[in-house]
Structure 1
Amino acid sequence: MSNLEDRPDEVECTATAASDVEIMTPRDVPLGGPRAMRVRRTLPQRHRSLIGAWCFVDHYGPDEVADSGGMKVAPHPHTGLQTVSWLFTGEIEHRDSAGNHAMVRPGEVNLMTAGRGISHSEVSTAATSTLHGAQLWVALPDAHRHTDPGFTHHAPTPVTGTGWEVRVFLGSLLGDTSPVPTYSPLLGAELLLEPGTALTLDVDATYEHGVLVDSGVVGVDGTDAKKDDLAYVPPGRSTLALRTYDAPARLLLLGGPPFGESIVMWWNFVGRSHDEIAGYRTEWQGQITDTGLVEGRFGIPVGDELPPIPAPPLPNARLKERR
C-alpha cells in the first residue's frame, strides 16, 4: 500500500523507553481521490515510531466497496522496507516490478521486500464486496536495506485452544514458527478470542510488542484496549496476558527487539538521510513519463497499466538526518 498523503510527514524514528502498557489511538488518513478509501494509522506517531522493526501500521474496513470504491493503489515505489499485507475480508491483486503477481486473501500473508528499490500496485478485485485488513511495514536494518527486492507468500495453519485461535504469519508463537524470512527478529500473528477468554502467551522478554485491536475490547496486561487502539508493551515481559469480556475480539500481535537504528521515513521511502530520500524521489520522478513508467531503480510492475503515482513535493525544510 502507498502513503498517498499530499504532505506526508517526515519521521525520524528512534526507539524510546516506556514503563507500562501505552494505548495509542489512530488518525484517519484518506488514500486519495474524492471517494477515497480511508485507513486508520496508528504507527508512526510523533512520540513513538517503531515497535521492533515495525514502522508503519494501517488498519482499514470493514468497508463496502460499493460505497468506498475499494482499493485502487497504482504503481508506486518503496525502498528500505518490507510490506506485510494481511486481510480479514476481501481480495487484493498485487503486482510488482520483481515479476510477482499474486492475490492477497484472508488468513494468508504476502510479504514484499523492497530492499534497494521496487514498485508495485494493489487493487481490490471485482469479486470483493467488503474490504477489511491491515497493511504493515517493517524497516530493514542498515546491513540489509540494499538487498534485492523479493516476495513471499504463506498461509499459516491455525493453532487452537479453548476460546482462541491463532495464525502466526511471522516469527514464533505458541509452538508454531512461520517460514517467512525477515532481516531482523519479528513476531506477527492474528488472534481470535471468544467472549470471556483469558490467554497468557509466553513471549520473548527482549521484544517490545504492539497489540492492534480490530474488534472487541481486549485487556492487555491489565490495560484495556478498544477497537482500533494499538497497545504498546515495552520489553522485559516473558509473558503477555490477554483477556476478553462479554464480546469476541480479533487482534494482531506485533513484536520484535528494539530496532536500535534511527531511520528517516518519508512518503514510501525508508532511508538514513535527507539526501538519500531526495535522491530516491528524483529517481522515481525520472521513471514517470506521459506514457507510463520507464526502467530505472524501481522497475515496472508486471502487467500493470495504471498510471504511476507521482511523488509529492519534499518539505521546505531538510529532512532530519540520522543521529
Structure 2
Amino acid sequence: MSEPDPVISPSPAVRGGRLRVPAGPVHELLAPRETALGGSTVVRRLLPNLGRRMVGAWCFVDHYGPDDIADEPGMQVPPHPHIGLQTVSWLHDGEVLHRDSLGSLATVRPRELGLMTSGRAISHSEESPRDHARLLHGAQLWTALPDAHRHTAPTFEHHADLPEISATGLHGTVILGSMDGATSPGRTFTPLVGVDLTLTEGTSTAPPLEPDFEYAVLTMSGLTEVDGVRLDPGSMLYLGSGRRELPLRALADGSLLLLGGEPFEEKIVMWWNFIGRTDADIRQAREEWMTGTRFGEVHGYDGGRLAAPQLPRLPLKPRGRAR
C-alpha cells in the first residue's frame, strides 16, 4: 500500500503517455526515500520518484529489508482500499499474510507471486504471521490498469510455482510477463515484464530484452554492475528503451529485480492507494471508503482499518510522467 510520505505530502499526479520517454538507452539513477509502513517496517520508495514516476505500467515500487523482526511484530498494514491497479507482493525472506474483501486468505512466501487486481474496488490487509521468520525482505509493486480494464472485477492470485530461466551463474524467476521463453501465469493487462535475477560472484551475462520496452533495475542484495553502472542494495537504475540485452556483472553474490514494459499510453491520476483518470474518480473513491461503501470488508484482521488522508482543496491536476 501507499502511505503519505513523511516529507512529501500525498500529492496528486497524472502519469503516463509517451512524451519524454527516452527513445534509446539511458542511465538514470533513482534515489530512494524512506518512509514507515505498518508496524516496524521501513521501506525505501523508488517509484514514484522525483525524477520518474512510471516504467511501463509499473507505477509504484517499495523495497524493504532485510529486517530482523524476531522480536518485532513485523509488517502490520491494516485494511485499506485500492482502485485501478494491480499489487504485486514479492519476497526474498519472510512471509506476508494477505486478507482481502473477496474472502481471500493466503500466506505469500519467498519467490511466490501474490497478485491482486483491484479493478473497480477492493480492500485488503498485509501482515507478518504471528509465528514468523526472523528476517523480512521484499518488494511491493503496483502496475496501473489501462482504462479498458480499470473497472474489471477484483481478483486475487497466488502462484507458488513460477517459471524459471537459467544461464551460467544466473538464475531467474519470471514474476509477470515473459522472458527468454518463460511466461508467468499471472494475469497482465498491458505488455510488461518483471523478473527476479540471482547472480553468483564473478558472473558476467547479458539476458535478452525487448527493444520496445523501457526498463529499470532494482538491486535487492549484493553488488552488481548493470550496463557498467555499479548498484548498491536498494538502488534503482532507469535504463530507457531500445535495448536488446542487458549486460550484468556480479561483484558479489546478489539479486535484482528487472522491471519493464511498453510505455504506458494513458494519463492517470494517482493519489494515496487510488489510480483514476479524473479528480472526480479519486474524490468519489475516498468518500466511498470513508463511508464504508463499495470496498467491502476484510475479515480476520486484528484491528481497525486505515482512514484516508485529506484531499487537497484544489482539483487534482495533471503532471507528466517525468520531471
TM-score by length of structure 1 reads: 0.92
Counterpart code for 2:253: P
Matching residue's letter, 1:206: D
Letter in 1 for 2:47: L
RMSD over equivalenced CA pairs, Å: 1.8
| Deviation at residue 255 of structure 1 after TM alignment | 0.7
Correspondence for 2:150 among 140, 145, 151: 145
For residue 91 of structure 1, the aligned residue among 92, 95, 108 is 95
Structure 1 residue matching 2:186: 3-state secondary structure: coil
Q: 2:216 aligns with which of 206, 210, 215?
A: 210
- Of 214, 219, 227, the residue aligned with 2:225 is 219
User: Partner of 1:58 in structure 2?
Assistant: 62
Structure 1 residues without counterparts, runs of 5 or longer: 288-295
Q: Which residue of 2 aligns with 1:131?
A: 136
Q: Distance in 2 between matches of 1:189 and 1:278?
A: 35
Instruction: Show the 5 A alignment for 1:6-25.
Output: 7-15=9-17, 16-18=20-22, 20-25=26-31
Aligned to 1:299: 296
* SS of residue paired to 1:239: coil
Partner deviation per Cα, 1:277-307 (whole Å, 9 max, x = no partner): 01110110001xxxxxxxx211112433421
Query: Counterpart in 1 of 2:250?
Result: 244
CA contact (8 A) 1:91 1:124 kept: yes
SS of the residue corresponding to residue 211 of structure 1 reads: strand
Q: Distance in 2 between matches of 1:98 and 1:77?
A: 12
Q: 2:53 aligns with which of 49, 61, 81?
A: 49
Aligned-pair CA distance for 1:4: 5.0
Closer, same or farther: CA 4–69 of 1 in aligned 2, 3 Å: farther
Cα distance change of structure 1 residues 322 and 58 upon mapping to structure 2, 3 Å threshold: closer
CA shift in 2, pair 1:305/1:69, >3 Å: closer
Q: For 1:238-317, what aligned pairs fall within 5 Å after superposition?
A: 238-245=244-251, 247-287=252-292, 296-317=293-314
Cα distance, 1:203 vs structure 2: 1.2
Q: Distance in 2 between matches of 1:127 and 1:176?
A: 34
2:101–2:298 contact (8 Å) kept in structure 1: yes
- The residue aligned with 1:104 is 108
Report the Cα distance in structure 1 between the residues aligned to 2:221 and 2:300, rounded to whole angstroms.
36
Aligned-residue sequence identity (percent) comes to 49
CA distance in 2, matches of 1:315, 1:9: 8
Cα separation, partners in 2 of 1:222 and 1:13, compared to 1, 3 Å: same
Contact 1:25 1:230 in 2 (8 A): yes
Aligned partner of 1:179 in structure 2 is 185
Please tell me whether the aligned partners of residues 81 and 139 of structure 1 are also in contact (alpha carbons under 8 angstroms): yes
Shift in Å at residue 101 of structure 1? Answer: 0.8
Shift of 1:262: 1.4
SS, match of residue 290 in structure 2: helix
- The structure-2 alpha-carbon separation of the partners of 1:147 and 1:234, relative to structure 1 and needing over 3 Å to count, comes to same
Q: Which amino acid aligns with 1:23?
A: L
Deviation at 1:110, TM superposition (A): 0.6
Displacement of 1:216: 2.0
Counterpart-to-counterpart distance in 2, 1:267 and 1:205: 32
Give the C-alpha shift of residue 40 in structure 1: 0.1
1:119 aligns with 2:116: no
How far 1:48 moved relative to its partner?
1.0
1:51 to partner: Cα distance:
0.2
Q: How far apart in 1 are the matches of 2:49 and 2:140?
A: 16
Equivalent pairs counted in the alignment come to 312
Q: Distance in 1 between the 2:105 and 2:2 partners?
A: 17
1:39 CA drift (Å): 0.1
Q: Distance in 2 between matches of 1:321 and 1:108?
A: 36
Aligned residue for 1:280, secondary structure, equals helix
Q: For the Cα contact (< 8 Å) 2:32–2:44, is it kept in 1?
A: yes
CA distance in 1, matches of 2:207, 2:13: 32
Partners of 1:91 and 1:127 within 8 A in 2: no
Change (3 A) 1:2 1:101: farther
TM-score, normalised to structure 2, is 0.92
- Per the alignment, residue 3 of structure 2 pairs with 3
Partner Cα distance (1:317, 1:36) in 2: 34
Task: Report the Cα distance in structure 1 between the residues aligned to 2:67 and 2:301, rounded to whole angstroms.
Answer: 25
User: Does the 8 Å CA contact 1:213/1:228 hold for their aligned counterparts?
Assistant: yes
- Distance change in 2, residues 1:322/1:283 (3 Å): farther
